[in-house]
Amino acid sequence: MQLKFSISIAYFKFSARNKPITSNITFAPLMTLDEEIAKRRTFAIISHPDAGKTTLTEKFLLFGGAIQTAGAVKSNKIKKAATSDFMDIERQRGISVATSVMTFEYNDKIINLLDTPGHKDFAEDTYRTLTAVDSVILVIDCVKGVEAQTEKLMEVCRMRDAPVIIFINKMDREGQNPFDLLDELELKLNIKVRPLSWPISIGQSFKGVYNLYEKSLNIFNPSQTKLTDDIVSISSLNDESLDDYIAPYTNQLREDVSLIEGVYDAFDHKAYLAGKLAPVFFGSAVNNFGVRELLNAFTSIAPPPIPRGTDLREVKPEEKPFTGFVFKIHANLDPRHRDRIAFVRVCSGKFERNKFYTHTRLLKELRFSSPASFMASAKNIIDEAFPGDVIGLYDSGNFKIGDTLTEGEHIHYKGIPSFSPEIFKELVNTDPMKTKQLDKGIRQLTDEGVAQLFTQQPGNRKIVGTVGELQFEVIQYRLQNEYGASCSWRPLQLHKACWVTADDKTELQEFVRLRGQQICLDKDDHFVYMAETRYMLDTLMQNHPHVKFHFTSEFKKDILK
């Protein structure tokens, strides 16, 4: 995972220091906008750490021809060549702090895979990445089943009705009974499932999977290098030759399949696209098993770029004018250049290099001379990009997460909320000579989405909220290394941060006046009530029925209460 991120970093560095190489992200320049859109699939792989996300990602890249050898993603050689300075902390920790983007071609589709950090302390980062994709592949470890992080991630997917394909991995291990696993998925993830392949035994005696869709057998042959599947077409499960491949599990398979056909409805593509039904595949990523089957299914059923909501209207990808939004920012990729990269998801129209676009929050016209793509090849500066693509824009401090770019229309993309953090600490300046640097550093890091900053007035007291302890270490380290500012943390006992609004402005003002000690401003100067306990929060909610308490900054679907 680290390397994949580093690949992107390395490209950015490369382009910053070398003359830009101009290439085109499109593979057939004469295609119409509609054809470009139809070709694209933009998705993320999500999982609880260790379920096999990195391995599956690597196999996808391998099948897509974006890397040449299995194991390359983790090989030390590449790791050393591509490490970036600010990722020191990640190296020390052995976890991936950031999100990367990988583009490859498969089955005549251009696939944009947005990687997400597996560590729970960086869950916010993952949530935001999910706002930039059109669908998701969820990886489950067949031994462990549904884990804590899986449930949270699925909650976010469901909030957005993102279509989800489930890949049950590690079938070469002694895992749970597949029927029990399916029940657990439905129960804990609150989504209907439909197996499209079915395992024949499991663990040491794992024989392969039966493809319920194509009615073929995929015979398991453990190998970490072999890239072809042993597919056997069978006309009927009553075929006696079945024994040659899967004995003594032939009858078991027949019984399982008849049970599946009896219990589950036929696969409903529309329900999948609406995020109501998740097709399930089984395999073993490390053995390249079931991966091609998964990719084939993905390219045939996953949605192309979909319309997206703004504050004023829904924007369709095929609309001619370009629009897009920033879902991620990386600052200080190279400490010598102080550059920032804003990751923009293209939502409609055609993005063109060197053309002026409107930054709708600042009402500023901006032009980008070296937008980067994330093709896994040496070429990285692009001339144009289409809906579904992710482009990296060099930024001198104009962007915040959620910012929208358009060809002049004053709209703002929705769906990039901040959630209430879980851990709060006060930022204490330990070097008064570096106050300016500290202020700038914490502002920029929180713009990047590393954590949320709440400021209390008067006094400019800064409270930082995160979803994990690790974040505080990252911030402290980066403030020191990138801004020369030192700080310490004072833990605060807070239950939640709630954004507060009211239809009647005077009601809100009165509430803010009364609760002055517990009111902060977020990065966009919205009022936030810092609840000390759940009891206090419940009491206040009862006492102020006209004040609305929101658990995400977007004030819409408050799922993470």
Residues that bind ligand G4P (CB under 6 A): 1, 47, 49-55, 74, 118, 169-170, 172-173, 284-287
Angle of the 178-189 helix axis to the 148-159 helix axis, nearest 10? 50
Phi first, then psi, for residue 482 (nearest 5°) are -100, -25
The smaller minimum CB distance to ligand G4P, of residues 290 and 465, is found at: 290
Would you say 46 or 242 has its CB closer to ligand G4P? 46
Minimum gap (Å) between residue 48 Cβ and ligand G4P? 7
Q: What is the DSSP letter of 107?
A: T
Backbone angles phi, psi at 316, to 5 degrees: -90, 145
Nearer to ligand G4P, 114 or 341 (CB): 114
DSSP 494-543: --EEEEEEESSHHHHHHHHHHTGGGEEE-TT--EEEEES-HHHHHHHHHH
Burial class (CB in 10 A: 0-12, 13-18, 19+), 327: buried
Cα angle value 35/39/45 (rounded, 5°) = 155
Nearer to ligand G4P, 126 or 332 (CB): 126
* Residue 49 or 307 with smaller CB distance to ligand G4P: 49
Q: Which is nearer to ligand G4P, 73 or 453 (CB)?
A: 73
Cβ proximity to ligand G4P, 205 vs 533, nearer residue: 205
Residue number, 173 or 495, with CB nearest to ligand G4P: 173
Measured from the CB atom, the residue of 285 and 344 that comes closer to ligand G4P is 285
Q: Is 424 strand, coil or helix? A: strand
Q: Pull the structure tokens for residue 139.
A: 């990886």
Nearest approach, Cβ of residue 291 and ligand G4P (Å) = 9
Q: How far is the CB of 105 from ligand G4P (least distance, A)?
A: 23
Compute the least distance from the CB of residue 388 to ligand G4P, in Å.
24
Decide whether 74 or 359 has the Cβ nearer to ligand G4P: 74
- Residue 87 CB, nearest distance to ligand G4P (Å)? 17
Cβ atoms of residues 204 and 173 within 8 Å: no
User: CB atoms < 10 A from the CB of 533, how many?
Assistant: 12
Kindly tell me which of 257 and 470 has the beta carbon lying closer to ligand G4P.
Answer: 470
Residue with Cβ nearer ligand G4P (67 or 381)? 67
How many whole angstroms separate alpha carbon 238 and alpha carbon 540? Answer: 67
Rounded CA-CA distance 19/15 in Å is 7
Which CB atom, from 223 or from 241, has the smaller least distance to ligand G4P?
A: 223
Give the three-state DSSP class for 348. strand
Distance of closest approach, residue 99 Cβ to ligand G4P, in angstroms: 13
- Write down the number of H helices and E strands in the chain: 16, 31
Q: Least distance to ligand G4P from the beta carbon of 471, Å? A: 19
Q: How far is the CB of 142 from ligand G4P (least distance, A)?
A: 9
Q: Which two tokens stand for residue 91?
A: 């190296």
Strands (E), 252-318: 277-282, 308-309, 314-315
Q: Which runs of E-coded beta strand occur in 355-484?
A: 356-359, 364-367, 381-382, 384-385, 390-395, 404-406, 423-429, 452-456, 461-466
Q: How far is the CB of 68 from ligand G4P (least distance, A)?
A: 18
> In angstroms, what is the minimal distance from the CB of 382 to ligand G4P?
28
99, 114 Cβ separation under 8 angstroms: yes
Minimum CB distance to ligand G4P, residue 56 (Å): 7
Map residue 169 onto helix, strand or coil: strand
Count Cβ neighbours within 10 Å for each residue of 368-385 and write b for 16 or more, e otherwise.
Answer: bebbbbbbbeebbbbbbb
Q: Which residues pair with 192 in a beta bridge?
A: 277
Asked if the peptide bond before residue 458 counts as cis, ω within 30 degrees of 0, the response is yes
How far is CA 434 from its chain centroid?
35
CA dihedral sign of residues 381, 387, 390, 392: positive
Minimal distance, residue 434 CB to ligand G4P, in Å: 37
**Shortest separation between residue 85's beta carbon and ligand G4P, angstroms:** 24
